[in-house]
Amino acid sequence: MSRYYYSLSKDHSFTIRGTAKLLNAASSRYGGDWHSVPHTHNHLELFFIVGGKGQFLIGDQLHPVDANHLVIINPNVTHTEVSLNALPLEYIVIGIEGIELDTGGTSDGQFSILDQYESAEVSGCLRNILREMEQKNRGYEDVCQAYMEILIIRLMRTTALAVPAFPQAASSNRQCAAVRRYIDLHFKEPLTLEQLAEEGHMNKFYLSHAFKREYGISPINYMISRRIEESKYLLAETDLSMSQIAQLLGFSSLSYFSQVFRRTQEISPKEYRNSQKSV
């Protein structure tokens, strides 16, 4: 009798279980009423082009796609799809949370478009996910998750794609740092959370969560803190009036400036100026 015994390596370099989570799946076909606009998600999207021809607008560049192409869009990357009316674009898309794919230094790590040579295996996994989600038999969530993990691992085996260590943390760190730098340069302007999210290529709700996790303060409160610190300098070192300082630093009114200053410094702007003159 011949017996073959195999054991798993202790170094699970491809392990994504517990990190990546399948969020959703959909099948779409272009129609006359399809009006897709540039948007972002705080999760990865993977598109398999089933048929037709079209383009993906990623950032500010168009990229042609047709049947059997696989398009991978990393989290917080602005994108949309454009179809050719003569050959309507048709695709399957899944959303995956908690992961991004390292594209090996290409496209600034934002996306990858593969001329998929394993289309049968790729489309098979995706169609199985769609079928399971449609039928919702017992345990379908676990089955869908398993198909997604198989698909990601096969991609890492056969392409330059990889899962970097702590992918979303690294990505959000870079984006939050960029937003913080933008605030440091423009805090005197009337910034909104929507503007900051656009600068960071992030969903505004995800930006609020990630920025506070990174710096312990929300983006808007960080902007206000920068304004207050600047106002303390102007109060102490210049003869500008309170109204001029409030206007210069982007506060909507003198009363709002005074209210925010007192709340954060436990003293009014006038009292602060007087205290600095007596030093």
Per-domain boundaries in the chain: 21-158, 168-277
Fold of 168-277: Arc Repressor Mutant, subunit A (1.10.10)
The alpha-carbon radius of gyration of the chain (Å, integer) is 25
How far apart CA 223 and CA 193 sit, in angstroms, is 10
Least confident window among 14-23, 154-163, 192-201, 266-275: 14-23
Return the closest-CA partner of residue 123 out of 94, 143, 95, 162: 94
The model's pTM is 0.58
pLDDT digit string, tens, across residues 114-129: 886 667 888 899 999 9
Residue 216 CB neighbour total at 10 angstroms? 9
167 Cβ contact partners less than 8 Å away, ≥ 6 residues apart? 99, 100, 102
pLDDT digit string, tens, across residues 78-89: 888 888 878 889
CATH 1.10.10.10 fits 21-158, yes or no: no
Confidence grade of residue 25 (pLDDT, cut at 50, 70, 90): very high
pLDDT digit string, tens, across residues 55-109: 999 888 899 999 999 999 988 788 888 888 788 899 999 999 878 777 655 556 6
Confidence grade of residue 255 (pLDDT, cut at 50, 70, 90): very high
